[in-house]
Amino acid sequence: KINEGAPTAATIVAAPEFVDAKGARQLFGLSRSHLYNLTARGLIRSCCLRRPGAIRGRRLFACDSIRAYLEACMGLRRRGNTA
C-alpha cells in the first residue's frame, strides 16, 4: 500500500527554448505552413540544423519569438485592430 499522505516529488517541466513544427503545434496551435509563413515574413525566428553536406535538416522555431508574436497579436486586438 502506498502512503497517500507522503509527499511526492513534483515533476518540473521547463518551457523549451526551441521546438520543431510538431512541438509548436502542440504548444501554440500553429500549423507548419503558418510557422513557415511567419518565419519568411520575419515575424518569428527559426534555424535549420543539418550536417555538413546534407540536403535535409531539422527546422527549429524559437519559442520566445513565437510568444512575442502572439503577445503582439493580442495587444493589437485589445486596441480594436485585427491582425
Confidence at 1, pLDDT banded by 50, 70, 90: low
What's residue 19's pLDDT? 97
- Provide the grid cell at 47: 534555424
Is the predicted pLDDT of residue 2 greater than 90, yes or no? no
So what's the pLDDT on residue 21? 97
Single pTM value for the model: 0.74
CA atoms 38, 42, 45, 51: torsion sign: positive
- Banded model confidence at residue 45, pLDDT cuts 50, 70, 90: very high
What band does 14 get if pLDDT is binned at 50, 70 and 90?
Answer: confident
Strands (E), the chain: 18-19, 46-49, 58-62
